[in-house]
Amino acid sequence: MATATPAVVGAAPYAYRFAEDWPTLPDGWSLPDVAAVAVDAQDRVFVFNRGEHPMIVLDREGNVLTTWGEKLFHRPHGLHIAADGALYCTDDGDHTVRKCTPDGTVLLEIGIPGQPAGFMSGHPFNRCTHTALSPQGDIYVSDGYGNARIHKFTPDGKHLLSWGECGSDPGQFNVPHNIVCDAEGWVYVADRENHRIQIFGEHGRYETQWNNLYRPCGLFLDGGANGICYVAELGPFMALNRNFPNLGPRISMLARDGSLVARIDERTGLPAGRFLAPHGIAVDSRGDIYLGEVSWTVWDVYLHPNDPRPRDLRSLHKLVRIDA
């Protein structure tokens, strides 16, 4: 939506400006909900969205390089790019995870398309949400909207173990929405409706949690022991609190001990209405942030169900990092 954007949001060394005319799409294209975004080793940006071209591949300048997935995906939700360039595409609409090449060739499929496991059964999958890889290449899947579970598979898709149940105690989940794994093998789960990130060992043992969050949706973890965890927070939708301050939508940067390093929110220059529904996040080699939003769904279903959607409603942002 049209808002006056300041020259800088955030604060050094995490200060950014919006790339206002990014991306450049062909005439007649729309870009509805961007559920996930990921960046490969060449800084190509993969935009996993719910429009007519489910996977749009962009260069850094926002030009379309290619598209694929038009007859493959039902409802895109999560996207992870492995070190070898393979894409793990999580589709909560048909309850599958697909490993694909960068040009869209399917290499592996986990789950049965269109056949969900029983609601809260604990079996894979019922509306799975995201995928991550261990240092050994094992596959973790957060599951999801119809389960409260994390599943672990071998690199070729054999089920190894699962953990979690619905609840708010340590090790329980209320919409496990995103998942990442670090180089040491720790597993980080965005436990969205419990407003926290839980951290586990490789066998599912609960270790600790980060709590200074509000509906964390998207995760991106920098490599290394001192890497920053970027968190896209959805913010409140209830009529009671949707206009409350300091709850988001926003982006938070956390240190590896869970302490807050920086935030992009109204207190650091973000105009009201600039973010509507942060959902997926990625960072490129230069420190620029790519943020996908499910803004169309949130506008239509939660915030303004009786109002026409604004023509300039955004679902994808690029925030260019400003050198200190």
- What pLDDT, in 10s, does the model give residues 48-77? 999 999 999 999 999 999 999 999 999 999
Return the H-helix or E-strand segment holding 295. helix 295-297
> 132 by DSSP, 3-state: which?
strand
Residues 226, 206: Cα–Cα separation, whole Å: 21
Residue 264 has pLDDT above 80, yes or no: yes
Query: What letter represents residue 283's amino acid?
Result: V
Percent of the chain with pLDDT over 90: 89
Q: What is the pLDDT of residue 226?
A: 73
Q: Rounded to 5 degrees, what angle do the CA atoms 109, 113, 115 make? A: 130
Q: Are strands 76-81 and 64-68 parallel, antiparallel or unpaired?
A: unpaired
Q: What is the pLDDT of residue 243?
A: 87
Residue 1 has pLDDT above 50, yes or no: no
User: Domain 9-321 is in which class?
Assistant: mainly beta
147-157 pLDDT, tens digit per residue, is 999 999 999 99
Nearest one of 224, 220, 185 to 205, comparing CA atoms: 185
Residues 269, 271: Cα–Cα separation, whole Å: 6
Q: What is the mean pLDDT of residues 266-292?
A: 95
pLDDT band, very low/low/confident/very high, at 311 (cuts 50, 70, 90)? confident
Residue 2 has pLDDT above 80, yes or no: no
269-279 pLDDT, tens digit per residue, is 998 889 999 99
Residue 222 has pLDDT above 80, yes or no: yes
Residue 91 has pLDDT above 60, yes or no: yes
> What string of DSSP letters covers 189-238?
EEEGGGTEEEEE-TTS-EEEEE-S-SSEEEEEE-SSTTPPEEEEE----S
Q: List beta partners, residue 242.
A: none
Stated pTM of the model: 0.96
Q: What is the pLDDT of residue 236?
A: 93
Tokens of 6: 């300041």
Q: What is the pLDDT of residue 153?
A: 98
Q: What is the mean pLDDT of residues 225-242?
A: 90
Q: What is the pLDDT of residue 223?
A: 78
Residue 136 has pLDDT above 50, yes or no: yes
Tokens of 289: 């942030």
Tokens of 226: 């001192």
Q: What residues contact 102, with CB distance under 8 A and at least 6 apart?
A: 40, 44, 46, 57, 85, 86, 87
Residue 250 has pLDDT above 80, yes or no: yes
Q: What is the pLDDT of residue 225?
A: 64
> What is the DSSP secondary structure assignment for residue 114, as one 8-state letter?
T
Nearest one of 84, 83, 108, 105 to 96, comparing CA atoms: 108
Q: What is the pLDDT of residue 324?
A: 55
Q: What is the pLDDT of residue 120?
A: 98
Q: What is the pLDDT of residue 224?
A: 67
Q: List beta partners, residue 283.
A: 289
Tokens of 265: 């929110």
